[in-house]
Structure 1
Amino acid sequence: MTDSGEKTYSAPGHAGLTVLRATVGRWLGSRYDLHQHGTEHVPADGPVIFAANHSGWLDGPLLIACTPRPAHALVKAEQFEGRSGALLRLAGQISVRRDENDAAAVRKAVAALEAQHAVAVFPEGTRGAGDVAHVKDGMAYLALVTGAPVVPVAIFGTRQAGQPGDAKPDKGARIELFYGRPIAVERRPWPRARGEVRTLAGRLQQELRVHVEKSAEVSEVALPGPLPPGDTHV
């Protein structure tokens, strides 16, 4: 049980994740002109939260397969269907229902961090312009509960201007990931006030936005801008 008396969860497994990373990583490397910057900023051990901007479909596979450390990503529940769902479960990814407060998903992510693993999140909650104009509170909550540092990640090249959210980059397209310095967060015991979580979410949003803006200044690929009007591929 947790300090609040809630049910605890076991950390997701790593074995399947290792296999999937190798397979998907090779495919991504052979299909795209992939560049990663700032990997030296990622802590070699201990819990860590990768927090990335989100503009295209390929962002998720990139975080699962290419981060310097294996990460359990929070993936929208709609992806956990059919063959892709089986692969995601095998790889220890975490299903999250985005239209509600999915306590089970949060507890699984907490369990992964408390087991000294890495967790990957898209704090914007959905695909968009990739400029981190808004965030949800989940990233901040995970950091407060576990004390895990947050590594900001800026992703460029997974969608072109005017393309829908489910567009896939052309073969050979340049894709860049920029990892920033870890943002330290002090672990806070239960109970945690809603205002405290919201305040930290605002601070982390600002740090991530600054990281994206600074990365854009040196990136060879621009952010795509908003999704086309009426696009539902989020």
Structure 2
Amino acid sequence: MTYYRLFRGIFRIIFSLVFRWQVIGREHIPKEGPVILCANHISLWDPPLLGSGIERQVHFMAKEELFKIPLLSFLITKFGAFPVKRGAGDRAAIRTTLKLLEDGKIFGIFPEGTRSKTGEPGEAMPGVAMFALKSQAAVIPVAIIGPYRAFRPIKIVYGKPIDLTSLREAKSGSDVLKETSDLIMARIKELRDQHLP
């Protein structure tokens, strides 16, 4: 946790001085218990931005290739990342995520699965719905409003938890996964639209 706080402090200085960040909705983050932060994805800066805006530590999946680069592997591990094999269901990464949530931690995920080339939020992959439905975590939509340009404001907005009670009580299946993914992405888009300059 010491390394995490150090790196978070460095990123906060960068976001404050270089990008003049604005953080909205911190009060929506539960002070304890499992949380899934679901954000749109526009830049490589998004993971540290998502984690730097709140006090609790955020854990992330990161593509396994990054963990083969010695210094980068050390840094992202200390910042709460763990490896995932992209392009296939990585059971180890899934188990790690569910265990983190079971232990009451915060998991950050970008439902689109990749960065948006246009800056507009896209379609959500089913993975976010699986984690949301298989856990009792508070699911928080997050809007990142850029672009990241020096001395131009970057905004991160944490929304209210999404009520997934009825979906969690429904029978599992592809329809429920899609409905859940679509709902999460819709809330992210709503937040973004509400806070666009």
Q: Do both proteins adopt the same fold according to a TM-score greater than 0.5, normalized to the shorter chain?
A: yes
Structure 1 residues not aligned, in runs of 5+: 1-13, 160-168, 220-234
Amino acid at match of 1:90: K
Greater fraction of residues in helix: 2
TM-score, length of structure 1 as denominator length: 0.74
Q: State the identity as a percent.
A: 28
Change (3 A) 1:209 1:32: closer
Q: Does 1:207 align with 2:187?
A: yes
What's the counterpart of residue 72 of structure 1? 59
**Counterpart mapping for 1:181-200 below 5 A:** 181-186=160-165, 188=168, 192-200=172-180
What is the aligned length?
A: 193
How far apart in 2 are the matches of 1:97 and 1:127?
17
TM-score, length of structure 2 as denominator length: 0.86
Given that 1:147 and 1:185 are in contact with CA atoms closer than 8 Å, whether structure 2 keeps it comes out as no
From 93, 103, 107, the equivalent of 1:105 is 93
Given that 2:112 and 2:123 are in contact with CA atoms closer than 8 Å, whether structure 1 keeps it comes out as yes
From 32, 37, 45, the equivalent of 1:58 is 45
Q: What's the C-alpha RMSD, in Å, of the aligned pairs?
A: 2.2
How far apart in 1 are the matches of 2:31 and 2:58?
13
From 74, 84, 102, the equivalent of 1:114 is 102
Q: Does 1:18 align with 2:19?
A: no
TM-superposed deviation, 1:68:
4.0
Given that 1:152 and 1:181 are in contact with CA atoms closer than 8 Å, whether structure 2 keeps it comes out as yes
- Matched position secondary structure for 1:33: coil
How far apart in 1 are the matches of 2:120 and 2:110?
12
Structure 2 residues not aligned, in runs of 5+: none
How far apart in 2 are the matches of 1:28 and 1:213?
22
